[in-house]
Chain A
Amino acid sequence: MKRNLKYITFPLLVFMLLVRPVGCPAQDKYDYIDIDNPFSRKIPVAVPAFADLSEQPADSGDLEKMPALLSETLVFTRYFDVLDPAAYLMDPEKKAITKETVTFSNWTAIGADYLVTGGFEQKKNRIKLELRLFDTVRGKQLVGKRYKGTMTDHRRIIRRFCTEIIKHFTGSRGFFNSKIAFVSNGTGSKEIYICDFDGHEPKQFTHHNTISMFPDWNSDGKWLAYTSYLKGKPDIYIEHVRREDDGSVINRKGMNIDPAWMPGKFVLAATMSFSGTQKIYLLTGSGKMIKKLTSNWGSDISPAWSPDGKQMAFVSNRSGSPQIYVLDLDQRRSRRITFEGKYNTQPCWSPRGDRLAYTSRNGGLNNIAVIGLKDLESVQLTRDAGHNESPSWSPDGSLIAFSSTREGRSRIYVMTAYGTDQQRLLSLPGAQSNPKWSPSTMHN
């Protein structure tokens, strides 16, 4: 048997060497043109009026505003460009909302790559709403959902459908379930407020009639920690967002500021000065001390956690000027991240963990910059528009909220992670600052 193998092996080897490998890559047949710069960074979408599918159509009231609401929500993401309804080539009487009834060529003709159709039925206070997303170029339905609720649920329904749309395009669930906490002095004192991700429904959260600032959400969005001068000095207050649970106060001697919740845990880092200089400590949600996190020479403030909770960015003046450092909790080592300029503060870790947004002072003005943690290359996102401070990432990492004095008083603005599409979030009396985006797990 062995002998036979010996005789067969050599010819086999020769044969194998001679035969060309099966499967020729397609790339050899023709060459490829590189297309790497899309003409439009936004997806052109059409959102025509929703069809009233009720057996006995009545006054639809707020339901008529739903296409506009859906358009606003899509536009807010900076992913979509909703085409002007005046250009739509459709007969509203036809109620074309399904694949069978939609004439896709009418939509591709006006440049709409995608189409959202809606139909509603209303009976007294109850509504049924069916929404569909189509790829007009291919004539394909991509998403289709049916919702039931009361008349007042229409905003929630629209946001849920937008979440489905965003999930289709990006794979992530977006930020439609998130909220933004911020500080406003509209009442005469600095209070914490909470609004929807798009600035809707701002509500005052604290009523301390003093200075309250630096809000921070915990991982499930149920708890809010902030600094307040309620007792005459800065202490940290931890409160349940819906006030369904008792909160706690961290009021050690000296300053207690900059609360930063550790991801996935009911534990937070905070700056405290009971030992003399400002250092960062780890505490439980009920205020019990766990350990000291920074112990180098100088003051350490503004902790910000990496998404995995293994690293913490903070600001220290140990090198002579305020600069951003990152502490590796396992190795107990910190490294300096910012080297440009003499004033870099307010770090905020991107949800993907690869970048830090921060406030950098140059030319006497504060601006938002983003730095890559691998190459330490920074990009300035705001310029020539007053002071821009306190960056905070949206839960999906696509947007950054920040405060700016570009219009005089400080207001909250939102821009893409690349610094484009900078727009004011909301308009309230007084000045607004310190925006903090919640995680996406909030329940509307």
Chain B
Amino acid sequence: MKDRKQIKKTAQGSRSEKLGRYVVVSAVVHVVLLVLIVAIPEITPARRLAPKAVHVSLVSEQDLPGASKPKHRVKKTRRPPRKKVYQKKDTGKKKKARKKKPRTSDEVKNAISMLKKEIEDTDSRELDDALSRLKKEVAEQGPKETIDRLKNEVAGSEKRIGNSIYGRHSIEIMRIYDAEIEARIETNWAFAGEASNLKAWLAVKINKKGEIKDIWFDEKSGNSHLDDSAYNALMKSNPLPPLPEAYPKPEYIKGFKFGTEGLSSE
């Protein structure tokens, strides 16, 4: 009996010893992780799980500002509740609805005028609200401060849009600039060879004046003629048109993917 008790005790002892070890190891691991998370924020899972890049469709971007529109405007465009649709279906009044007389022109006119009035009211209400807020702010903080705040707000909103650089207007300007330099570079590209899937990936650093300050290969194609001709096309295009004034940074980096697929189409 004594032996059994002894064995039990020993077993309990070893179990608690094991548990203790686990607790210690777990605590150490947690501490290490905490230290790492504080010391190197890049290793946090939140960052890792976030998408590599936020893709902004320049077409659909037109709709993006809608997110910051006043709530009551959203309400206006809201669809009627589904319930009613179900009710209609359930009651089987489809035929009746079809037999409904077409609306008279007066009815339509009334509806349009009502809508117009509503829109005018809403817009004027918004404007009135905004103006009164601004007036209040100017009175309290002074005109200079208010203008500065508004400037910062505009700059901030632009920075949030797109690839964390510029806003919708600037994006449009840079798209035009990109098209301009694309045409310039393509004009200077002479390549004598056959169509293939090979690609030469190059990038350039352009300063405000449009001068190419640096050219480098991100990836060579494996065909020295294609690589050289692409490099020379960029060299020959120097200087490029000056950067648009709206572009906020002193230098603009752009990549170019030279391929010969276009040759096969002719």
Chain A partners chain B: yes
Interface of A toward B, CB cutoff 8 Å: 7, 10-11, 14-15, 17-20, 26-44, 78-80, 108, 113, 135, 137-138, 168-171, 398, 417-418
Grouping DSSP codes into helix (H, G, I), strand (E, B) and loop, the B interface class, with mixed when no group exceeds half, is helix
The smallest beta-carbon distance between A26 and chain B, in angstroms, is 4
Which of A32, A135, A170, A398 is the one whose CB lies under 8 Å from B228? A135
Q: Which of B194, B236, B255 contacts A417 (CB under 8 A)?
A: B194
Q: Are B33 and A14 in contact (CB under 8 A)?
A: yes
Q: Is the CB of A38 within 8 A of B253?
A: no
What B residues does A137 contact at CB under 8 A? Answer: 231-232, 235-236
Number of A-B contacts (CB under 8 A): 131
Report, nearest first, the 7 A-B pairs whose CB atoms are least far apart: A37-B262, A32-B255, A40-B190, A79-B192, A38-B191, A36-B262, A137-B232
A41 touches B255 (CB 8 A): no
| Closest A residue to B192 using CB positions | A79
Q: How far is the CA of A33 from the CA of B188 in the complex (A)?
A: 15
Of the residues A14, A39, A138, A170, contact of B189 by C-beta under 8 Å: A39
> B interface, how many residues as a size bin?
35 or more
Known: A26-B203, A138-B232. A11 touches B29 (CB 8 A): yes
Question: CA separation between A11 and B47, bound complex, in Å?
Answer: 20
Alpha-carbon gap, A15 to B35, bound state (A): 12
Please, which residues of chain B bring their CB within 8 A of the CB of A34?
257, 259
| A33-B182, A34-B257, A135-B232 as given contacts; A41 in contact with B42, CB under 8 Å | no
CB-nearest residue of chain B relative to A419? Answer: B266
| CB within 8 Å for A33 and B32 given contacts A18-B45, A38-B229, A40-B189 | no
- Selected contact of A39 from candidates B48, B190, B232, CB within 8 Å: B190
Q: A18-B48, A30-B253 are in contact. Are A35 and B232 (CB under 8 A)?
A: no
Interface assignment of B263: CB less than 8 Å from any CB of chain A: yes
**Which residues of A have CB within 8 Å of B25?**
7, 11
Nearest residue (CB) in A for B230 is A35
- Whether A170 contacts B48 in the complex (CB less than 8 A), given A28-B53, A31-B255, A41-B263, comes out as no
Of residues A30, A36, A108, which shows the largest number of chain B Cβ atoms within 10 Å of its Cβ? A36
CB-defined contacts of B254 to chain A, threshold 8 Å: 30-33
Q: Which of B208-233 contact A (CB under 8 A)?
A: 218, 223-225, 228-233
The reply to whether A35 and B48 form a contact with Cβ atoms under 8 Å apart is no
Please give me the residue from chain B that is nearest to A108 by CB atom.
B236
Asked whether, in the complex, the Cβ of A32 is within 8 Å of the Cβ of B201, the reply is: yes
Report A-chain residues with C-beta under 8 Å of the C-beta of B189: 35, 38-40
Given contacts A34-B259, A35-B185, A35-B258, contact A28 B52 (CB under 8 A): yes
- Known A-B contacts A20-B47, A32-B201; the reply to A80 vs B192 at CB < 8 A is yes
- Asked if B43 is at the interface of the complex by the 8 Å CB criterion, the answer is yes
B253 to chain A, nearest CB (A): 5
Mask for B123-137, Cβ within 8 A of A = 1, else 0? 000000000000000
Q: Does residue B247 face the partner (Cβ distance < 8 Å to A)?
A: no
Do A36 and B261 contact each other (CB < 8 Å), given the known contacts A135-B228, A170-B193, A170-B225? yes
Please state if B218 and A169 are interface contacts (CB–CB under 8 Å): no
A-B contact list, 11 entries, CB within 8 Å: A7-B25, A20-B43, A28-B52, A30-B254, A32-B256, A32-B257, A33-B254, A33-B257, A37-B262, A37-B263, A38-B260
Judged by a CB distance under 8 angstroms, whether B118 is at the interface is: no
Decide yes or no whether B178 CB sits under 8 A from chain A: yes
C-alpha gap A26/B216 in the complex (Å):
11
- The answer to whether B188 and A39 have CB atoms under 8 Å apart is yes
**Hey, which chain B residues are within 8 Å of A37, CB to CB?**
186, 262-263
Docked pose: A170 CA to B256 CA in angstroms: 22
| Chain A positions within 8 Å of B203 at CB level | 26, 30, 32
CB distance from A310 to the nearest CB of B (A): 24
Q: Does B187 contact A (CB under 8 A)?
A: yes
Is there a chain A Cβ closer than 8 Å to B44's Cβ?
yes
Q: In this complex, which of A33, A35, A41 has the most chain B Cβ atoms within 10 angstroms of its Cβ?
A: A35
Q: Which of B47, B186, B192 contacts A35 (CB 8 A)?
A: B186
* B residues less than 8 Å from A78 (CB atoms): 192
Among the listed A19, A42, A108, which residue makes an inter-chain contact with B192, where contact means beta carbons less than 8 Å apart? A42
Residue-wise interface mask of B (174-199) relative to A, using a CB-CB cutoff of 8 A (1 in contact, 0 not) = 00001001100111111111100000
A45 to chain B, nearest CB (A): 10
| Chain B residues within an 8 Å CB radius of A7 | 21, 25
Chain A residue with minimal CB distance to B225? A169
Is there contact, CB below 8 Å, between A14 and B187? no
Contact A43 B192 (CB under 8 A): yes
Output the residue of B36, B231, B257 with the most chain A CB within 10 A: B257
